[in-house]
Each structure stands twice: as structure tokens, then as C-alpha cells.
């Protein structure tokens, strides 16, 4: 009896265990909330939105799994002055995004704090003047992104963070699913990493690099440590006298001021693991009824800005150099100068840091920048005129209302970069080698912000890592396989943001318009690979190319059109159109040769439907050494041109005004408009204004040539 009872009890326990096991599986599945899609996009950046729209257009079941609560990344997070490069190679959905913004600002109701006619923001020209709005408010960009999500009925899971330790499930080289910290599981045929950090690619076991490669790694000229290289105006070389890094100037035993590293900077050209500085692209306003005075942040420490005081004492007065205007009395405020809003050296561990540590880094950057604004407004050591001007500015009441009027998106200029099937390098950008299988184009100059602030052997403070190098021969192609991991690592993942590229090449590729167009191209590749039952790596490029071109992507761009003259034909310093000009008002692009040859890709002419007083173009040229110079201006001459084009020429010591008759061809390609005596590094600022005579004003190129 006891034996039978024990057997029955054992069987009953086994049955109960099975029931509990099935129940556990059932409840686990419920807790996991499993979802199944064709394409799973991880990340909430601008690239995520364009990729999702393209996937939906091509019939895929697509989802965006976003760790961010706000869609759009930097494009809706403060970067309202778009680094567009050459807008003519921005195609597809990326171009459509800026066109939608343009239409947004054609509506009077979207000009609450400013009349459209009063807006004088510096325009970067587009193909037909301003059919794209490359300047915009954060809330305007957010609206466009949200409109896309609603219009295409795209499911979005916000505030969902990838389980980076064990959340990626693979079968061989294919990702099967990803799991978030909340327990949600997203299965897919294909996956896409659109984060700025590259978290999905790293968790999937894909190779990547952090920091700068050496010059020898890819045979480049501008990679690695760049001690002694002083580009732009973000270094201490622009100060008239060197600045001591020590608490007591000149006394190393007194200690080092905050925000200065005591580490050795490294050897020029060698690799390191440092990454370029991050900052918030701040949206500020000087409209009183929309302005919140800068609050004193938690953890405010005025000693963090001692170096800034020394810079002010040395005579520096460029605090507002990158308060770039966007609509409705707001700015996109960026880093400018030797000590500014870039938090140099405080982000090295960010790319691989835990979510908790990243939050600390983000908060530290906010405290640093908000603290600097508060410091300038209140510390008595700040120059009076600078302090009074800063007090006119504040945070906008109508932006970021759910995050205390401060952007939630730190500018992650660079984190992980995939090492994939093809690596984009400086050599592809500069056309030294051919780029295979284009899926889009970039055109912005190679641009890296400072990486470190160190002490020179002479005992002074200096910044290092800031690079600004022009792209030779115009826009460059971006290779399809720079979006793909190595085939032996993963075969169903695309990476349109942390693309496979060297540090210095990424300095140009890393622009929001490029991320958006690469997101569209990556989604197109996934859709075609799924439709044709092939892998991303084996997809026929010709099939991909045909679909991309059908959808408006620009994959190739001739170096020079008929009538175009190479900049290399001319001596001296030569500046040409959109890459170096600041446009105000509406200007149109042309390649017409009736008035003679032109420099580069074409020239710009004034739109006669606009108010003449709003149309001007400004360019700056810097003398490489002291001496006498000739300043020349090129233009396409013709009878429809103005005879009375005003040109103002300013140097450090004087301003010259002249008038150019553009109906007459010059004796040489560049018409001499001034003779100047300049010091080493002295800047010449040239401003061309359209006169009120109903005739076209032409702007093509400028030349500063030494004559002795």
C-alpha cells in the first residue's frame, strides 16, 4: 500500500512539475512579449526613421526599437544648422526630410516669434536656392519625424534598451532576435543598428574600432595623434600670448587647472583610444517672452572655468562665434574657440560604458555646459560686454518641454566604428582610390573636433585633434559594403551610422543628411535581399543600384561639368561656392556657360524675386604669410548682370569698398578687385551684396594671391 502510494505520489509530482514547467514557459513568453518582424531597427536616430519609411514602402514588416524617448537623434536634438556639404548629392528620403522642413516654414503659423522676412540666418545654398531648409528648430524636425511615423503607420517602441550582455541571439552568422532590458523580444529576418554608439553591432560580435588609427593603418595623412596641427580656431594658437596651465602661472608645483590633462599627448601619427569631444548642440533664444534665464545647475563649480577667465584676460572675445541663428529667434549653439562648449577629454569611456555610466557622462556634460552659461552670466571676472550679451540669452520655453527645456541628446560625434567588409578611409574620400558600389554620397569636409587638452613641452596649454580638411574633387561615393559586417561575423545586419570607416573618414561621413540617406539605402538592401532570398553580402549590386536610383538616391557625381575649371589650375588661396561661402537671402545655382567658364561645379546668382537688401554672400580668406597680395573675384559675365555690384573688403586694419561691373569679362579668369598688404594669418573678409537695379549678381570664386 505504501509502495503504491509512493509511486502514485511520485507520478503526481511529475505531472505537477510538467504543468508548472508549461506554465513557466507560458508566463515567460508573456513576460518576454515576443514580436516578429521582417526588419528590426535598433535606435531612434534620423537614420532609423528614413530606414523604417523605406522598408514600409517596400512592403516589409518593420519596427523601430528605440532606447530614446525622442525620435530623430541630433536632427531633432539641437543640430539645427545642418552640415549639408553639397546639397546636390543629398537624395531620396534625406532630401525629402529637408524639403518638408522648407514647406513647414512656408506657413505663417510656424513663425511665432519672428517674421519670415526678418530671418537672416546664414543659409547654405541648395540646388535651387532654398527648396530644402537646412536651418530649423528642434521641434520642427521632431514634427517631421513624427509625421513620418504616423503617415506610414510604423510601430515604435520607445525607452527600450538592448540587453547588451545577453540580449542578442544568433544562429551561426544570423541574428535571430534581440531582447531589451524590459524583457521584450524582437525577432526578425534582418536587423539594423542605427545607434550613435553601435551597441547592437558590438553585442552581435561584430568587429569595431574605438579611437584613432595610426597613419600607417590605412596609409592616411590626417589620422592618429595630431600634435602641432592647428586647424580652425579651436586652439590656443589664436591667443596673442601663451596660456599657463598651472594654478599659479608658470609654477608647475602649484598644480594644474581643471580641464587640462597631465598625460603625454602621444606621438604625432600614432594610434590612440581617445575620441573627439562631445557637446550638446544648444537651442537658445534671446526672445524675452520665450526665454528662461540660465539656471544654476546642480554641482555647479566656478573653478572649472578658470582657464576661460585666463583666455578672456588675454583678450579673446569670440564667445558668440557659433551662436548660429535658426528660426524664431533661436540658435544652434556649437563649440567655438580654445575653451568652449566641447567637454574635451571627458568622454573617453563613453563608447563601451554601461548605461548607468553613460548617464553620468551625459549629466556631467550638461552640468559643464549649463554651468559655463551661468558662469559667464554671473562671474565678475567675465568681461562686462560679454556678460551683458550672454544675459540676453536663455533656454527656450517652447523646446524640450518634457526635459526641462534642455536637449536629451548629447552629440556623440564618434563612438564605435564597425570594421566591416569594406573600410572607408581618407583615400576613398580624396579620390586616391576608387570606391566600389556606391549607395550614397558624402561631401562635407573632413572634420574632427579636439580630442585632448594637454601641456606642451614649453609648459603651455594646447588643444589637439581638431582637423579641417577639404574634400578633393567634390563629393565622394560611400561603398555598399561599408554598411555590412564581415560575412563570417554576421550576414543579416546593416550599420548605416557607425559605418565601417577610419576615424578621419568618419569625420566627413558622420553628418545627419548622410546618416539618413544611408539608412534608406540599408533598408533597401534588406528588402531586396529578403525578396530575392539571398544574403546582404551576395545581393546583386546592379539590382540594388537600380532601386536606389529609382528612389532618388544620388550615387555618382561627375567631378567637373562642361565649363568647370579646376581649383588646382590657380595659385594662391582659392575659395569656391557652397563649401566656403555664407549665403543670406535666396540664391540659385547655375552651370550656364554663356558668360564664360566658371570655377568648380558652377556658380550662384541672385533670385530677382527676393528683396535685394536681404541678399549677400560672405567669404573669408587667410594669408599664409606676410606680404603683398592681389584679391581676385571670378564671375560669369553677361548683359543680364549688374554693372553696380557692391563688394566690401575688410582686413584687420581697414575696410575697402568697390563696385564690380559684371557685364564685362575680366582680362583674366579672376578680376582683381583689391591690392592688400597682409600679416601672417591675417583674414580678409569679402562681402558681395546685390544692388537694387533689377539685374543679376553673380558669385563664383575668389583668389588671394601673393605678389611679392
pLDDT given at position 29: 40
Contact 111, 136 (CB under 8 A): no
Q: What cell numbers appear for 409 in the block?
A: 541628446
**What is the rounded CA–CA span in Å between residue 519 and residue 50?**
6
Which element (helix H / strand E) includes 333?
A: strand 330-333
pLDDT, mean of residues 117-131: 55
Of 189 and 605, more confident: 189
Does pTM surpass 0.85?
Answer: no
55-69, 119-133, 455-469, 493-507 — which is least confidently predicted? Answer: 119-133
Q: What percent of the chain has pLDDT over 90?
A: 79
**What is the rounded CA–CA span in Å between residue 161 and residue 169?**
15
**What is the rounded CA–CA span in Å between residue 245 and residue 235?**
14
Cα distances (Å, whole numbers) of residue 247 to 255, 256, 260, 303, 459: 6, 6, 11, 11, 13
**184: Cα separation from own chain's centroid:** 32
pLDDT higher than 90, residue 420: yes
- Collect all residues with Cβ–Cβ distance below 8 Å to 435 and sequence separation of at least 6: 424, 428, 476, 477, 478, 479
Contact 484, 187 (CB under 8 A): no
Average pLDDT, whole number, for the chain?
Answer: 91
pLDDT given at position 3: 44
Angle at alpha carbon of residue 505, lines to 278 and 42, rounded to 5° = 60
> Which 8-state DSSP code applies to residue 692?
S
Q: What pLDDT digit, counting tens, does each position of 301-321 carry?
A: 999 999 999 999 999 999 999
Q: What percent of the chain has pLDDT over 70?
A: 93
151 closest CA partner among 63, 293, 56: 56
pLDDT given at position 348: 98
Going from the N-terminus, what domains does the chain have, and what CATH number goes with each? 35-210+473-550 (3.50.50.60), 564-706 (2.60.120.260)
Task: State the residue for C-alpha cell 519596427.
Answer: 63
Amino acid at each position: 500500500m505504501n509502495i503504491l502510494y509512493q509511486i502514485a505520489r511520485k507520478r503526481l509530482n511529475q505531472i505537477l512539475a510538467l504543468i508548472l514547467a508549461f506554465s513557466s514557459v507560458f508566463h515567460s513568453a508573456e513576460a518576454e512579449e515576443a514580436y516578429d518582424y521582417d526588419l528590426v531597427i535598433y535606435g531612434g536616430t534620423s537614420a532609423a526613421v528614413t530606414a523604417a519609411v523605406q522598408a514600409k514602402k517596400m512592403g516589409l514588416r518593420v519596427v523601430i526599437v528605440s532606447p530614446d524617448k525622442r525620435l530623430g537623434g541630433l536632427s531633432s536634438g539641437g543640430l539645427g544648422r545642418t552640415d549639408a556639404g553639397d546639397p546636390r548629392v543629398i537624395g531620396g528620403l534625406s532630401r525629402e526630410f529637408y524639403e518638408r522642413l522648407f514647406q513647414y516654414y512656408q506657413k505663417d503659423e510656424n513663425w511665432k516669434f519672428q517674421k519670415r522676412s526678418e530671418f537672416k540666418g546664414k543659409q547654405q545654398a541648395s540646388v535651387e536656392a532654398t527648396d530644402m531648409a537646412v536651418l530649423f528648430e528642434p521641434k520642427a524636425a521632431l514634427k517631421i519625424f513624427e509625421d513620418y511615423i504616423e503617415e506610414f503607420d510604423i510601430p515604435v517602441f520607445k525607452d527600450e534598451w538592448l540587453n547588451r550582455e545577453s540580449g542578442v541571439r544568433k544562429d551561426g552568422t544570423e541574428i535571430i532576435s534581440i531582447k531589451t532590458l524590459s524583457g521584450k523580444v524582437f525577432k526578425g529576418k534582418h536587423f539594423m543598428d542605427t545607434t550613435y554608439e553601435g551597441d547592437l553591432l558590438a553585442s552581435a560580435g561584430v568587429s569595431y574600432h574605438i579611437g584613432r588609427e595610426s597613419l600607417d593603418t590605412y596609409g592616411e595623412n590626417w589620422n592618429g595623434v595630431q600634435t602641432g596641427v592647428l586647424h580652425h580656431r579651436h586652439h590656443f594658437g589664436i591667443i596673442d600670448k601663451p596660456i599657463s596651465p598651472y594654478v599659479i602661472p608658470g609654477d608647475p608645483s602649484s598644480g594644474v587647472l581643471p580641464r587640462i590633462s597631465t598625460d603625454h599627448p602621444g606621438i604625432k601619427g600614432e594610434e590612440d583610444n581617445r575620441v573627439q569631444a562631445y557637446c550638446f548642440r544648444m537651442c537658445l533664444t534671446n526672445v524675452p517672452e520665450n526665454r528662461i534665464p540660465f539656471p544654476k545647475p546642480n554641482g555647479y563649480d566656478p573653478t572649472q572655468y578658470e582657464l576661460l577667465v585666463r583666455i578672456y584676460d588675454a583678450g579673446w572675445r569670440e564667445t558668440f562665434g557659433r551662436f548660429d541663428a535658426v528660426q524664431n529667434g533661436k540658435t544652434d549653439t556649437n563649440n567655438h574657440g580654445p575653451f568652449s562648449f566641447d567637454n574635451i577629454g571627458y568622454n573617453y569611456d563613453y563608447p563601451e560604458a554601461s548605461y548607468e555610466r553613460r548617464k553620468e557622462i551625459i549629466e556631467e556634460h550638461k552640468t559643464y555646459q549649463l554651468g559655463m552659461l551661468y558662469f559667464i552670466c554671473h562671474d565678475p571676472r567675465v568681461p562686462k560686454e560679454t556678460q551683458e550679451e550672454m544675459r540676453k540669452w536663455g533656454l527656450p520655453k517652447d523646446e524640450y518641454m518634457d526635459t526641462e527645456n534642455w536637449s536629451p541628446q548629447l552629440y556623440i560625434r564618434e563612438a564605435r566604428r564597425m570594421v566591416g567588409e569594406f573600410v572607408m578611409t581618407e583615400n576613398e574620400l580624396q579620390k586616391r582610390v576608387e570606391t566600389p558600389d556606391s549607395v550614397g554620397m558624402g561631401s562635407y569636409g573632413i572634420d574632427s573636433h579636439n580630442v585632448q587638452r594637454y601641456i606642451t613641452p614649453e609648459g603651455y596649454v594646447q588643444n589637439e585633434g581638431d582637423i579641417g580638411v577639404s574634400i578633393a574633387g567634390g563629393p565622394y561615393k560611400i561603398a555598399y559594403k561599408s554598411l555590412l559586417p564581415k560575412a563570417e561575423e554576421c550576414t543579416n545586419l546593416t550599420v548605416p551610422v557607425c559605418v565601417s570607416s577610419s576615424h578621419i573618414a568618419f569625420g566627413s561621413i558622420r553628418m545627419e543628411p548622410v546618416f539618413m540617406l544611408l539608412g534608406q539605402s540599408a533598408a533597401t538592401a534588406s528588402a531586396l535581399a529578403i525578396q530575392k532570398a539571398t544574403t546582404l553580402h551576395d545581393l546583386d549590386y546592379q539590382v540594388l543600384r537600380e532601386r536606389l536610383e529609382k528612389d532618388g538616391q544620388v550615387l555618382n557625381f561627375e567631378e567637373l561639368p562642361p565649363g568647370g575649371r579646376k581649383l588646382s589650375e590657380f595659385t594662391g588661396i582659392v575659395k569656391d561656392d557652397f563649401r566656403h561661402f555664407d549665403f543670406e537671402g535666396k540664391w540659385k545655382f547655375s552651370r550656364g556657360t554663356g558668360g564664360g567658364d566658371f570655377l568648380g561645379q558652377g556658380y550662384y546668382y541672385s533670385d530677382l524675386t527676393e528683396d535685394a537688401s536681404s541678399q549677400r554672400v560672405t567669404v573669408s580668406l587667410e594669408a599664409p604669410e606676410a606680404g603683398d597680395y592681389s584679391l581676385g573675384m571670378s564671375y560669369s559675365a553677361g548683359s543680364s548682370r549688374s554693372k553696380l555690384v557692391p563688394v566690401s573688403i575688410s582686413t584687420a586694419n581697414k575696410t575697402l569698398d568697390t563696385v564690380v561691373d559684371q557685364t564685362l569679362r575680366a582680362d583674366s579668369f579672376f578680376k582683381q578687385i583689391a591690392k592688400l598688404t597682409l600679416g601672417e594669418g591675417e583674414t580678409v573678409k569679402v562681402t558681395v551684396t546685390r544692388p537694387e537695379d533689377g539685374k543679376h549678381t553673380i558669385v563664383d570664386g575668389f583668389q588671394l594671391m601673393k605678389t611679392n
